Amino acid sequence: MSSIESLASSITEQVSKLSSLLQEEHLPSPTFDEPGFGDFAYEADTPAGKSLRDIRHRILDSAQDLIRLVQGPTEHILTLTWATADTANINLITQLRIHEYVPLGSSISIKDLAAAVRIPESLLARIVRYGVANGVFVEESPNIIRHSASSAALVQNPHLTNIVRFGAEDLGKIMTKIPEAVVLKRDDPVHAPDAAFNLAYGTGESLFSYFQRNEAVNKRYHEYLAGRVHTPMWSVDRLRAAWPWGSLGKVKVVDVGGSSGHTVLALAPLMPDATFIVQDSNLSALEMGRRAVAEDSSLRSRISFEEYNFFEPQPVQADVYIYRHILHDWRDDEAVKILSSLLPALRPGARVFISEGIIPEPPARRLNTLTSKMTRLEDVFMLGAHDSRERTVSEFESLFHRVNPGDFRLAGVTSGVEAGAFQSLLEFEFVGLKN
């Protein structure tokens, strides 16, 4: 059992190691200031990168436990209860684009900032000062605002802003309806909605159908997906490093539900002899992918895009099928149907890769870093958006077993969390129909 003394001692020891390693790598120590060292920008697969990541996580683990012990249970629960105010504040900052009007390397008065944003000065001050309390912006002197490292990141990284917009505005709207949806399913299952999403948006459609019909939210959704790929936790670099893709040689790869082809575009340079097909039912996403590939003559001949509903029989016989962030959008019965649609096209030796977060097997424990907690967060997102879920390795095995017992062999698992990422990689090999 940890004590505040042992936790403080551990933090001191690990901070010393971190400081030494930063010096060895000629990296600046992080600060709260605008030019502060941002996000430990390192190659996670180098020895130094792995050490930085491990030390960072040990500090965060100990620091979060220390904070909770010093808070006590009441303040801990109240902090969780009122976290929605933090979400509302960062959402409002990005919607009003307040961060864009604060000059990098300089400062601005609250009066001038309010005029630029076009809201009353007193309201602007309240919004910004709540942000200051959370470490977003700095009030360097009365009524004078400048950037902190965090608010500057919103300016310097538009992808981060896109994540905030959809994550706080759209996912936030859905998350707040989860309690109501769960209670309705318990008390009035006949009239309960499919998911919290339906309550939040007042529709009987699925999230995907609704988004495809509503241009504004669909744009935010795809900007959110693209934005996540540009963060260390969600970067396709982790997928690239998770398996020796180049060893596959001259193969055909199908990215099922691949949207605009982010995954294929990341893997293609590692697989120079392979050809790729990106399949999706979203025509606008496919067109985005076609435009991106058209700009690269080396990829045009190797990557194609085709409309496909993954509940229908797979029309393409290939060596590799990739499902990246697909199955977690669906309940178990639907996920089994998606995988079963592969059977007409599969031949022995074909590989099926699943790139998703993996829920740890029980018993659960405290999770003190965003990387380790992200699968639990995503599990809540899936509950709210689709009444679906993230899964453990054994639950993935169960899905493949339900497709046809004995047809698939789990060939390997590469943990994402251990590499500082959200998504892990599961490799299943098709060994033949067992009728």
Say yes or no: 208 and 240 in one domain: no
pLDDT (average), residues 146-158: 95
CATH value at residue 371? 3.40.50.150
Last residue in a domain, options 194, 227, 260: 227
Say yes or no: 267 and 340 in one domain: yes
Say yes or no: 133 and 96 in one domain: yes
Last residue in a domain, options 77, 107, 138: 77
Looking at residue 144, its pLDDT comes to 98
Looking at residue 102, its pLDDT comes to 98
Say yes or no: 23 and 119 in one domain: no
Say yes or no: 293 and 421 in one domain: yes
Residue 170 DSSP code? I
Is residue 35 over pLDDT 90? no
Domain total in the chain: 4
**pLDDT-above-70 percentage for the chain:** 97
Last residue in a domain, options 21, 49, 77: 77
Say yes or no: 43 and 54 in one domain: yes
Is residue 44 over pLDDT 70? no
Cβ(378)–Cβ(346) below 8 Å: no
C-alpha dist (Å) from residue 106 to 153, 292, 356, 365: 15, 37, 42, 44
Residue at 281 is within a domain: yes
pLDDT tier, 414 (very low <50, low <70, confident <90, very high otherwise): very high
Per the structure, the complete domain to which residue 69 belongs is given by: 4-77
Residue at 339 is within a domain: yes
Say yes or no: 264 and 366 in one domain: yes
Say yes or no: 175 and 317 in one domain: no
The residue type found at 232 is P
Say yes or no: 205 and 239 in one domain: no
pLDDT tier, 239 (very low <50, low <70, confident <90, very high otherwise): confident
For the whole prediction, is pTM greater than 0.95? Answer: no
To the nearest 10°, the Cα dihedral for 312, 316, 319, 322?
-50
Is residue 433 over pLDDT 70? no
In terms of residues, how long is the chain? 435
How many degrees, rounded to 5, is the angle at CA 290 between CA 161 and CA 241? 65
Is residue 206 over pLDDT 60? yes
State how far the Cα of 234 lies from the Cα of 196, in Å rounded to an integer. Answer: 25
Say yes or no: 210 and 273 in one domain: no
Residue at 435 is within a domain: no
Looking at residue 4, its pLDDT comes to 95
Say yes or no: 336 and 262 in one domain: yes
Residue with tokens 């959809």: 166
What is the β-pairing status of strands 424-430 and 408-414? antiparallel
Looking at residue 379, its pLDDT comes to 97
Say yes or no: 199 and 114 in one domain: no
Structure-token pair, residue 16: 């010393």
For 152, other C-beta atoms within 10 Å of its C-beta total 22
pLDDT, tens only, 105-135: 999 999 999 999 999 999 999 999 999 999 9
Residue with tokens 């919290």: 196
For 239, other C-beta atoms within 10 Å of its C-beta total 26
Mean pLDDT rounded to a whole number for the chain: 93
Identify which of 319, 333, 264 has the alpha carbon closest to the alpha carbon of residue 296. 264
Looking at residue 42, its pLDDT comes to 53
Looking at residue 375, its pLDDT comes to 94
Residue at 330 is within a domain: yes
Residue at 412 is within a domain: yes
The residue type found at 25 is E
pLDDT, tens only, 329-357: 999 999 999 999 999 999 999 999 999 99
Is residue 62 over pLDDT 90? yes
CATH value at residue 94? 1.10.10.10
Sheet containing strand 275-280, edge to edge, reads 303-307, 275-280, 252-256, 320-324, 351-356, 424-430, 408-414
pLDDT tier, 225 (very low <50, low <70, confident <90, very high otherwise): confident
